[in-house]
A and B are shown apart, each in its own frame.
Chain A
Amino acid sequence: MEILYNEIPAGVGSKGKIRLTGEDERKLLLNGARWAVERGYGAVSDLERIESGGCIEGANPDVISQKAYERGRAQQGTLGSGNHFLEIQHVDEIYDKNAADEMGLFHGQITIMIHTGSRGFGHQVCTDFLEVMEKAAVKYRIDLPDKELACAPFNSPEAQDYLAAMRAAANYAWANRQCITHWIRETFQRVFMASPRDLGISLIYDVAHNIAKIEEHTVRGKKMKLIVHRKGATRAFPPGHPELPDIYKRIGQPVLIPGDMGRASFVLLGTEKAMAETFGSTCHGAGRVMSRHQAIRQAKGRSIWREMEDMGIIVRSAGRGTLAEEMPEAYKDISNVVDVTHNAGISKKVARLRPLGVVKG
């Protein structure tokens, strides 16, 4: 864990190992994880196991502000902070043996989970476009209950530019996770002095947790093209969906649902019912029950690090505060959340993963 913590930049004020030139950053925004693989981060075979092949078409580097370029330059290949994490886990329960076999999951198997996104780059895109949208809302006479909900009609130039910028941010995120995946593999190879083949660290899936996409859905019996926003939601496409790669056509799309650092995370599968009832979507994670400050107050005088160690979980964290904010009881029990989606039929459980080691920002 110590070596992983040193190899994967995490936390407030951490610097990435990659410095992007302007031209590089443009290519990255257009090509996402493909850019990373071309640069030697990971394998071509990873790409088919990433949502949209790790690259969403229609990104436009020309609509990105200079500030966003600057902010993104040194943050590629960094974990970030807050609820972002890197975990080493083990499979302790299989619910669907057939699907688990297809994914290469079995009882006792070690898994690694990465939760991060487009970092400061994506935030700068959001900040920049909030300003654009605020003006657009006035221009198109949209009455807003909260300024934070600023928006524009889909076919307006403002919205189309935003869509192209958001796609660039999605590509930044896919590249980011791909670089981190690569360094994790390298670290394991070094520590265990084993070849990639011996270790067999293969990607199960990479799914966006915060994105808007144009998709075809059936609404009142009619096929329609819709823009589906998944904010705090995860795509959960059923078996046979045309967007899925061949390896998952038969069982459906793997869905990764992270829980808090003490309890568990889950692998699920997308379903037809999700397609019919929730526009091919399921939950995002556990969700907080305590605000950050409440959690810090509750953690006063306690050593969360020690408590986790007593549970058999090694934690490395850049910030002391982060650990308190992220302590298990600050979150809902992920098992209950996942059971709701399973029983509702919008995604079905395949495996439960228990944390062994955690890197927090």
Chain B
Amino acid sequence: MKFEILDISGDAGIRAYGDKCEDAFVNAGIGMYSLITDLDKIKEGQDIEIEAKGDSSEGLLVAYLNELIFRFDTYGFVGKRIEMDFFSLQHSAYYIKAKVRGEEFDPDRHERRLLVKAATYHNIRVQKINDKCEVEVVFDI
């Protein structure tokens, strides 16, 4: 697993890793989906495109995860695979454009885990450590 779930009283968090920040962001997204349901039961039958922007790496991470949460909470879409079509952590543009593959959540077939309400700035971290990237985010549950 390229992510781990963090134990926080009352809420839940994710720490995700990657060789590049792009990968760590992808893993954070998948990690978040795994809080919502068992991803083994999710099929890759549908594609959605998402966009997110921020004023900082951390701001972009929050905006991107909140976009995924919005798509789930509004349209029931759960992703299983995330492909970054465009990923920039440049000071001129913190921007993500991604394709998310998955399907619509069906309470009869899919496991119900946590209702993730929002990604927060609390103790948020986007960090490069020895050529690797590590991100951490706490969700409001």
Report which A residues bind B (CB closer than 8 A): 11-15, 67, 70-71, 73-75, 80-82, 120, 123-124, 126-127, 130-131, 134-135, 146-148, 150, 288, 290-294, 318-322, 361
Nearest to A11 among chain B residues (CB) is B112
Contact present for B74 and A120 (CB under 8 Å):
yes
Choose from B7, B55, B63, B118 the contact partner of A126 (Cβ within 8 Å).
B118
Contact present for B112 and A292 (CB under 8 Å):
no
Choose from A124, A290, A319 the contact partner of B112 (Cβ within 8 Å).
A319
Contact present for B122 and A146 (CB under 8 Å):
yes
- Indicate if B114 sits at the interface (CB-CB under 8 A): yes
- Indicate if B9 sits at the interface (CB-CB under 8 A): yes
Choose from A70, A131, A147, A293 the contact partner of B74 (Cβ within 8 Å).
A70
Interface of B is mostly: loop
Contact present for B112 and A322 (CB under 8 Å):
yes
Say whether, besides A288-B9, A292-B12, A147 and B66 are in contact (CB < 8 Å).
Answer: no
User: Complex Cα distance A108/B124, Å?
Assistant: 49
Residue from A74, A130, A294 whose CB has the most chain B CB atoms within 10 Å? A130
Contact present for B114 and A14 (CB under 8 Å):
no
Contact present for A292 and B117 (CB under 8 Å):
no
Contact present for A81 and B115 (CB under 8 Å):
yes
Residue from A131, A318, A320 whose CB has the most chain B CB atoms within 10 Å? A131
Contact present for B141 and A82 (CB under 8 Å):
yes
* Cβ contacts B1-33/A at 8 Å (1 or 0 each): 000010111111000000000000000000000
- Indicate if B113 sits at the interface (CB-CB under 8 A): yes
Interface residues of B in 100-131 (CB under 8 A from A): 105-107, 110-115, 117-118, 120-124
Chain B residues, CB < 8 A from A70: 74
- Closest Cβ of chain B to A144, distance in Å, is 9
- Indicate if B47 sits at the interface (CB-CB under 8 A): no
User: Complex Cα distance A123/B65, Å?
Assistant: 13
User: Complex Cα distance A290/B113, Å?
Assistant: 17
User: Complex Cα distance A214/B48, Å?
Assistant: 43
Chain B residues, CB < 8 A from A318: 107, 112
Chain B residues, CB < 8 A from A321: 111-114
Contact present for B112 and A147 (CB under 8 Å):
no
Nearest to A135 among chain B residues (CB) is B55
Chain A residues, CB < 8 A from B73: 71, 75, 120, 123
Chain B residues, CB < 8 A from A82: 114-115, 141
Chain B residues, CB < 8 A from A361: 115
Chain A residues, CB < 8 A from B70: 67, 71, 124, 127
Contact present for A319 and B111 (CB under 8 Å):
yes
- Closest Cβ of chain B to A169, distance in Å, is 13
User: Complex Cα distance A67/B66, Å?
Assistant: 11
User: Complex Cα distance A70/B70, Å?
Assistant: 9
User: Complex Cα distance A320/B111, Å?
Assistant: 8
User: Complex Cα distance A231/B124, Å?
Assistant: 22
Say whether, besides A71-B74, A293-B5, A361-B115, A14 and B107 are in contact (CB < 8 Å).
Answer: yes
Say whether, besides A70-B74, A146-B121, A293 and B115 are in contact (CB < 8 Å).
Answer: no
Chain B residues, CB < 8 A from A123: 73, 117-118, 140
Chain A residues, CB < 8 A from B111: 319-321
- Indicate if B88 sits at the interface (CB-CB under 8 A): no
Chain A residues, CB < 8 A from B5: 293
Contact present for A12 and B114 (CB under 8 Å):
yes
A-B contact pairs, 25 of them (CB 8 A): A12-B107, A12-B114, A13-B105, A13-B107, A15-B76, A71-B73, A81-B114, A82-B114, A120-B74, A123-B117, A127-B70, A127-B118, A131-B63, A146-B123, A150-B121, A291-B9, A291-B10, A293-B5, A293-B12, A294-B7, A319-B111, A321-B111, A321-B112, A321-B113, A361-B115
- Closest Cβ of chain B to A16, distance in Å, is 12
Chain B residues, CB < 8 A from A147: 58, 121-122, 124
Chain B residues, CB < 8 A from A319: 111-114
Chain B residues, CB < 8 A from A288: 9-10
Choose from A12, A74, A124, A148 the contact partner of B113 (Cβ within 8 Å).
A12
Nearest to A292 among chain B residues (CB) is B12
Contact present for B141 and A292 (CB under 8 Å):
yes
Chain A residues, CB < 8 A from B9: 288, 290-291
Contact present for A148 and B121 (CB under 8 Å):
yes
